[in-house]
Amino acid sequence: MNAEVRAIKTSAEQALASAYEAARAALPGKGAVAALRDEAFKRFDAKGLPHRRVEEWKYTDLRALMRDALPLAAPADAAAKAKAKDAGKIFATLNCRRLVFIDGAFVPDLSDLTPERGLTVGSMADSLAKNDALIAAHVGKVFETDDAAVALNTSLMSDGAVIHVAAGTVLARPIHLVFASGETPSAAFIRSLIVVEKDAQAIIAESHESNASQVNCALELVIGDGAQVDYFKATQTRGLHVASLLLTVGAKAAFNTFALNSDASLVRNQSFVRFAGEGSTGGLRGVNLLRGKDHVDTTMLIDHAAGHCASREQFKSVLDGQSHNIFQGKIVVKPHAQKTDTKMMTRALLLSDEAEADNKPELEIFADDVVCGHGATAGALDPGLKFYLMSRGIDDKQAEALLIQAFIGETVEEIAHEGFREAIMRAALEWLETRG
């Protein structure tokens, strides 16, 4: 139950209100888009920043964590552009189409805009200004939610990617959205829309690297009937990163998402997923590597609104120092969604006595012919396993590294694409190597 208690506005909330007031006229999009912003801001303003009394945000109290709101990002300078060329290293070897964004703003001269049949790529700022048909049909409509972070994103959305993959198109290369940040910590409100039409196939990857910035990004992803989409998101930040995935899947479609958070100070990854057509399958997976005071919150709402769909949710976290990992997974099976098959599993590996892992699986099942399972574990490395490895000559650190690698490997191995599987494992191993 979410108690509606409105306290006096915090300084961050006041700053956001004045930022919206000041930027409102200059933000891209007039008419219907401006109305959408106003309406969203009204919703945000009524709720304020999410706090611990909002059940979905119980463990990530943004009102307390966000002391102040940073100013909106200024256009990228030459130094930021030079730095952005090296951003997104994690997926650099995969021959992707790179689309580069600095503090959320699209940078065409750093992006690969080579034409490809069936693919349309553009910037959200341009599309909002034109309020073209794709925007009118989808923005704010892919998964309607009263979540305050999404409302705030809709109010202040400035730029992002707009990608359309026409029916039957199989993209030749993965698309890599490279989100880099400038030197000056700022606030970015990034909104992207990706529509993969009927029977099309696409691989989309996002990498986020930022300093002390505050990033609120949202991706609306529409997967048409029979389409296949793989979506990867790798996040590194020394600031605050709130990401919302709003996803609707048609019939007989297949998708997989994979999130990697490593060296992520404060991250909230929330997913809102609706199975809207029968016979689709979806996998949501991720690995979180935390140390120091890192805080990573993975929260998802999976709405099985159509029958004969299967979903798999599997998340692993490794926690060192005083870090805090949160997993909240809610699966809803609607009354007519018979033959739904879901399995949710989260496991936390605690390397330190001071780390904290919270797991909250929730099932709301209104259909009677379904298979829904969930499990959650949290524990330390097995000393028996470690002794076994050490008795063979493997030292303490290497034994731990092997066991951690094995722990996350189980989830990484689920990635079908060899290149992405290896890239993610490599990034995880780099994190392990820098473990003190």
Partner 1 sequence: MLLEIKNLHVEVEDKKILNGLNLTIEKGQVAAIMGPNGSGKSTLSYVLAGKDAYNITEGDILLDGESILELAPDERAAKGIFLAFQYPVEVPGVATMTFLRTALNAQRKLRGEGEYSTPDFIKLVRETSAKLGVSQEHLRRAVNVGFSGGEKKRNEILQMAILQPRLAILDETDSGLDIDALKTVSEGVNRLRSSERSMIVITHYQRLLNYIVPDVVHVMSKGRVVKSGGKELALELEAKGYAQYTDEAA
Interface with partner 1 (CB under 8 A): 382-385, 387-396, 398-399, 402-403, 405-407, 409-410
- Residue whose tokens read 């919270």: 358
Q: What minimum distance in Å lies between the beta carbon of 376 and partner 1?
A: 18
Return the number of the residue (393 or 436) whose C-beta is nearest partner 1.
Answer: 393
Write down the least CB distance from residue 420 to partner 1, Å: 19
In terms of CB distance, is 366 or 388 closer to partner 1? 388
Residue 434, helix vs strand vs coil: coil
How large is the C-alpha radius of gyration of the chain? 21
Q: What residues contact 3, with CB distance under 8 A and at least 6 apart?
A: 53
Shortest Cβ distance from residue 396 to partner 1 (Å)? 7
- Is the Cβ–Cβ distance between 166 and 81 less than 8 Å? no
Rounded Cα gap, residues 269 and 79, in angstroms = 29
- Joined together, the tokens standing for residue 332 give 């809803």
Least distance CB 289 / partner 1 (angstroms): 16
Minimum CB distance to partner 1, residue 274 (Å): 33
Structure tokens at 31: 């008419």
Q: Tell me the C-alpha distance between 433 and 398, whole Å.
A: 9
Residue whose C-alpha is closest to residue 125's, from 246, 26, 264: 26
How far is residue 258 CA from its own chain's centroid? Answer: 9
Sign of the C-alpha dihedral computed for residues 39, 41, 45 and 51 taken in this order: positive
- Residue 316 beta carbon to partner 1: minimum distance, rounded to whole angstroms: 11
CB of 349 to partner 1, least distance (A): 12
For 15-116, where are the E strands, in sequence order?
97-102, 105-106
Q: Which two tokens stand for residue 51?
A: 């706090």
Looking at this protein, which amino acid is placed at residue 111?
A: S
Q: Which is nearer to partner 1, 372 or 385 (CB)?
A: 385
Q: Identify the three-state secondary structure at position 92.
A: helix
Nearer residue to partner 1 within complex by CB, 132 or 410: 410
Phi/psi for 38 (5° steps) reads -60, -45
Nearer to partner 1, 386 or 417 (CB): 386
User: What are 170's strand-pairing partners?
Assistant: 201
Question: Minimum distance between the CB of residue 309 and partner 1, rounded to whole angstroms?
Answer: 29
120 or 398: CB nearest partner 1: 398
Burial degree of 359 (CB within 10 A; 0-12, 13-18, 19+): buried
Sign of CA dihedral 24, 28, 30, 33: negative
Cα–Cα distance, 368 to 336 (Å, whole number): 9
